């Protein structure tokens, strides 16, 4: 991938380059293309396209900018000089038109939502499509004049230039989004484009595995590989893969218990690996070291940095203890494709969160070529498929993702006696809620979010469902989205499921210590068992349980964050059966919890984890 800072293991297979203009659906486009059977790779507008190998077509993504704005990403001119088909979607469509001599203008009004498309039936991009078909629009600007050589190939009532083509140059543009499910025949259009690119539809995880094995052997040669096995899906699959390809005598796994694991988080995986005969796996308890290093730290990024660097220190100490020469060993990591993007690892994206496998110490090793990341080009569901191919049991493969820094980023800490909340924000939010018949308040804690592709660190707003009103997730969805759009000082909304007493939420000094970790582990276990018992485990992508530095009376306040997602770059809050959530609250109250809050924020604007 262009801009990647380490040696990438690439398969010599046909690929589609997805040029990322910062749109929220970029990963979705890349996933769709792979699901259709062609390998896809995300690259950046400013990168030199001649560096691309084996690309048979290019797709320009959507993006938040206006094509003439100073903030718009700089596009390398070479993208228009490749002799392969180019398809622009939404902003991508506008940039093609603007750059090649057409004109883009702010439309009379923004268009969001479904529209009925009338496509030119004989155009190969629309082969097999209905005469009239619903497409999803989401744009403010639109193309008003075509570049020379282009013609209109589809219209909607409000958008006369909904799709364009220059068949001789093989340039195409769609104002709508074929990649979203709200465009029911979108996959047909994307498949047609792939056919126009001459795709062989050869991408499969099993084929990739085959190529990957050859390349891993080539890359490692005589060197041995050392892998930190957290017990999560990615590192387990990576460990099994390395063992299969290189042989156990060339691989050493180390599971570091950092004291931040969930109850039984890694036991099952370690038991499985042992049972499978992987005797090259060491386990070290380094809980004390991690907790001492975290001590009074409260800033989320600082916690992430400390946890990531401590992993490296413990690893180095272990290599030394085992008298292994670090020069003979490569470090392997189970990093997957989306991981590098949000850590700002591509050089363009803003840092939302530094993942534990992207801290400075790891970056240095990457620069020296001492790190291999066999899964770095795969999405989570592809990693799972690979895991099944490698014989890892379904139950382990389908476990929810668990972040490397573990409970360390689910245990919010605080050093301050009080924290002032902007009075204007408090008042405006109170008025806003009252106007909609809700009660609520801004909480004194803060959490990480992502808005307009940038990191935010702001307050959650707590809302209470009005007594006597019939419960509705739709109303809460609208309330949450409107509130976070309107008030920049609030990046999350939480619904109060229940509270144990009528008293205010009070900020308390709280750190990453054993006592709080034990409490979070217990609460988390209750919540996870609830998901299994209610048969809801597989209907959510993940459900972080977060302990806040807030008390109600003298009791702790807990948040659940169930989300549905396909690759965690975007997510929607999950709507669990609310009567069952109330039953969960009863259980938590019995366990000594003061209040249960339910996070009703999508991503964006709230990230999945709170830190």
Q: Interface with ligand XMP by CB under 6 A: which residues?
A: 342, 352-353, 355-356, 401, 403-405, 542, 568, 603, 607-609
Nearest approach in angstroms of CB 599 to ligand XMP is 11
**3-state SS assignment for residue 157:** coil
Which residue, 62 or 403, is less far from ligand XMP as judged by CB?
403
| Neighbour-count burial for 82-112, b at 16+ CB within 10 Å, e otherwise | bebbbbbbbbbbbbbbbbbebebeebeeebe
Report the distance separating Cα 579 and Cα 177, nearest Å: 37
Among 6, 93, 139, 177, the one annotated catalytic: 177
Report the distance separating Cα 398 and Cα 416, nearest Å: 40
Which residue, 159 or 545, is less far from ligand XMP as judged by CB?
545
Which residue, 255 or 499, is less far from ligand XMP as judged by CB?
255
Instruction: Judge whether 263 counts as a catalytic residue.
Output: no
Nearest approach in angstroms of CB 611 to ligand XMP is 8
Report the distance separating Cα 218 and Cα 220, nearest Å: 6
Q: How far apart are the two ends of the chain, measured CA to CA in Å? A: 28
Tokens of 337: 């494709």
Which residue, 165 or 298, is less far from ligand XMP as judged by CB?
298
Which residue, 452 or 466, is less far from ligand XMP as judged by CB?
452
The Cβ of residue 524 has, within 10 Å, a number of other Cβ atoms equal to 22
Report the distance separating Cα 241 and Cα 392, nearest Å: 10
Which residue, 318 or 342, is less far from ligand XMP as judged by CB?
342
Among 11, 27, 41, 90, the one annotated catalytic: 90
Query: Are the C-beta atoms of 44 and 4 separated by less than 8 Å?
Result: no
Q: Which of 491, 498, 434, 428 is nearest to 458 (CA)?
A: 491
Q: Among the residues of 71-173, which ranges form H helices?
A: 91-99
Nearest approach in angstroms of CB 416 to ligand XMP is 24
Which residue, 67 or 352, is less far from ligand XMP as judged by CB?
352
Phi, psi of 472, deg, nearest 5: -145, 120
Nearest approach in angstroms of CB 459 to ligand XMP is 17
Nearest approach in angstroms of CB 237 to ligand XMP is 13
Q: Which of 468, 433, 502, 474 is nearest to 600 (CA)?
A: 474
Tokens of 429: 């939010």
Among 41, 111, 142, 179, the one annotated catalytic: 179
Nearest approach in angstroms of CB 32 to ligand XMP is 20
**3-state SS assignment for residue 188:** helix
Instruction: Judge whether 139 counts as a catalytic residue.
Output: no
Instruction: Judge whether 93 counts as a catalytic residue.
Output: no
Nearest approach in angstroms of CB 230 to ligand XMP is 8
Report the distance separating Cα 289 and Cα 311, nearest Å: 10
Q: Which residues are catalytic?
A: 90, 177, 179
């Amino acid at each position: 991938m262009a801009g990647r800072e380490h040696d990438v293991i690439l398969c010599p297979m046909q690929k589609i380059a997805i040029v990322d203009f910062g749109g929220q659906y970029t990963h979705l486009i890349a996933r769709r293309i792979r699901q259709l059977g062609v390998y896809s790779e995300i690259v950046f507008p400013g990168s030199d396209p001649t560096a691309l190998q084996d690309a048979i077509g290019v797709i320009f993504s959507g993006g938040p900018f206006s094509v003439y704005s100073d903030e718009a990403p700089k596009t390398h001119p070479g993208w228009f000089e490749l002799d392969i088909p180019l398809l622009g979607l939404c902003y991508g469509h506008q940039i093609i038109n603007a750059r090649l001599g057409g004109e883009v203008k702010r439309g009379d009004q923004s268009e969001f939502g479904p529209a009925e498309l009338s496509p030119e039936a004989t155009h190969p991009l629309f082969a097999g499509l209905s005469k009239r078909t619903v497409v999803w629009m989401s744009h403010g600007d639109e193309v008003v004049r075509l570049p020379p050589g282009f013609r209109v190939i589809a219209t909607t009532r409000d958008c006369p230039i909904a799709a364009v083509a220059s068949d001789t140059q093989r340039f195409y543009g769609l104002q709508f989004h074929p990649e979203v499910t709200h465009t029911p025949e979108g996959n047909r259009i994307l498949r047609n484009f792939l056919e126009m690119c001459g795709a062989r539809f050869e991408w499969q995880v099993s084929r990739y595995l085959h190529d990957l094995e050859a390349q891993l052997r080539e890359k490692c040669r005589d060197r041995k590989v050392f892998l930190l096995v957290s017990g999560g899906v990615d590192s387990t699959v990576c460990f099994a893969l390395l063992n299969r390809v290189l042989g156990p005598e060339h691989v050493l796994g180390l599971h570091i218990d950092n004291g931040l694991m969930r109850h039984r988080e890694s036991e099952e995986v370690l038991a499985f690996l042992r049972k499978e005969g992987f005797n090259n796996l060491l386990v070290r308890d380094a809980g004390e070291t991690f907790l001492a290093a975290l001590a009074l730290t409260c800033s989320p990024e600082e916690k992430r940095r400390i946890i990531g660097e401590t992993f490296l220190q413990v690893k180095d100490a272990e290599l030394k203890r085992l008298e292994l020469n670090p020069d003979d060993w490569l470090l392997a990591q189970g990093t997957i494709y989306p991981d590098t993007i949000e850590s700002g690892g591509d050089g363009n994206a803003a840092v939302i969160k530094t993942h534990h496998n992207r801290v400075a110490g790891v970056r240095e090793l990457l620069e020296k070529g001492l790190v291999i990341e066999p899964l770095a080009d795969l999405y989570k569901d592809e990693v799972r498929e690979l895991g099944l191919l490698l014989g890892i049991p379904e139950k382990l493969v389908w476990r929810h993702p668990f972040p490397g820094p573990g409970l360390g980023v689910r245990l919010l800490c605080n050093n301050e006696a009080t924290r002032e909340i902007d009075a204007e924000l408090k008042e405006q939010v109170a008025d806003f809620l009252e106007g909609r018949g809700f009660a609520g308040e801004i909480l004194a804690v803060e959490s990480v979010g992502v808005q307009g592709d940038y990191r935010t660190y702001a307050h959650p707003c707590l809302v209470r469902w009005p007594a006597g009103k019939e419960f509705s997730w739709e109303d809460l969805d609208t309330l949450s989205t409107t509130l976070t759009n309107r008030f920049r000082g609030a990046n999350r909304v939480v619904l109060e499921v229940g509270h144990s007493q009528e008293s205010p939420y009070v900020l308390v000094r709280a750190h990453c210590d054993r006592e709080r970790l034990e409490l979070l582990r217990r609460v988390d276990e209750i919540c996870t068992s609830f998901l299994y018992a209610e048969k809801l485990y597989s209907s959510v992508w993940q459900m972080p349980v977060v302990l806040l530095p807030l008390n109600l009376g003298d009791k702790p306040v807990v948040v659940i964050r169930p989300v549905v997602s396909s690759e965690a770059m975007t997510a929607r809050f999950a709507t669990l059966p609310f009567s069952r959530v109330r039953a969960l609250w009863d259980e938590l109250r019995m366990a000594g919890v003061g209040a249960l809050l339910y996070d009703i924020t999508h991503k964006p604007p709230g990230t999945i984890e709170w830190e």
